[in-house]
Amino acid sequence: MLEQETTVPTPWWARVLAWLLLPVAGAALLWGILWVIDRLPFGGPFNLIRRLPEPWDVVVALGIGLILGLIFAALVDAESLTVRITPTEVVLTRPGHRRTVPKGEIALAFPDRDQLVLLGRTGRELAREPSHLSKQRLITAFGARGVAWAEQDPYLDAYRRWVPGLPDLPDAVFTARQKALSSGDDDDARELREELGRLGYVVRDEKKRQYWRRAS
């Protein structure tokens, strides 16, 4: 009998709630702001909405709040990770992204704040994805399929902070990635992280600062 795969998904109801509740919360927040500025002498851009004729002031506020809530819901949903472990591979899927890692190459899985990291046998980072999945469910799933789990990065003490001009480092790539981090360009930062990985460097971020180590 073939070994079955193990799947740890983000609960469907959590994704539905995000799409339902966050737009409502955004609309309620904007309506609340209008209610406050009616009673207190606030200035600023919200007064521009309040100057609209009724009921359009409320309609515009609710619309803006709804749109902001939908944007936030999309950002939350983009981090809805599903982990699927088969006898031969680990597949990490979230909306718009899919990464497949051969299971035989994985030495260790561990959480790094709100991310799930898969580490190779030479210390190379094989995958790093946003994750809000239950740690206990991940421990059980990986353990059942023979993948070791650690509570934190075993190489934490090996990281050094990157600053421009360090010798023997691909400074142009680190510099470009620092610009991407500072501007909030997550896709470019992710792509440049992978480029550094191909060059033999592992990078972790703290408050938009880069820390690096060499893979074995």
Question: In the prediction, which pLDDT does 84 show?
Answer: 94
What does the block give as tokens for 106?
Answer: 């994985």
Q: Give yes or no for a contact between 193 and 115, defined as CB atoms under 8 angstroms apart.
A: no
pLDDT in tens, 42-52: 656 666 666 66
**Which segments of the chain belong to CATH 3.30.720?**
83-152
pLDDT in tens, 155-187: 999 999 999 999 999 999 999 999 999 999 989
Question: In the prediction, which pLDDT does 2 show?
Answer: 43
User: How much of the chain exceeds pLDDT 90, in percent?
Assistant: 57
Q: Which of 60-64, 92-96, 173-177, 190-194 has the lowest mean pLDDT?
A: 60-64
The better pLDDT of the pair 171, 13 is held by 171
Tell me the residue length of the chain: 216
- Is the pLDDT confidence value at 1 over 50? no
> What is the DSSP track for 95-154?
TTEEEEEEGGGEEEEEEETTEEEEEETTS-EEEEEE--S-HHHHHHHHHHTT--B-SS-T
Is the preceding omega at residue 55 within 30 degrees of 0, hence cis?
A: yes
What lies within 8 Å, CB to CB, of 69 at 6+ separation is 22, 23, 24, 25, 26, 27
d(CA 22, CA 67): 10
d(CA 78, CA 200): 28
pLDDT in tens, 19-43: 888 888 988 888 787 777 666 666 5
Q: What are phi and psi of 68, to 5 degrees?
A: -60, -40
Q: For residue 79, what pLDDT band results from cuts at 50, 70 and 90?
A: confident
Instruction: Specify the pTM.
Output: 0.75
The better pLDDT of the pair 8, 39 is held by 8
H/E stretch holding 207: none
Mean pLDDT of the chain: 88
pLDDT in tens, 50-65: 666 677 777 887 888 8
H/E stretch holding 183: helix 171-183
Q: Span 83-152: which CATH code?
A: 3.30.720
Collapsing DSSP to helix, strand or coil, 209 comes out as strand
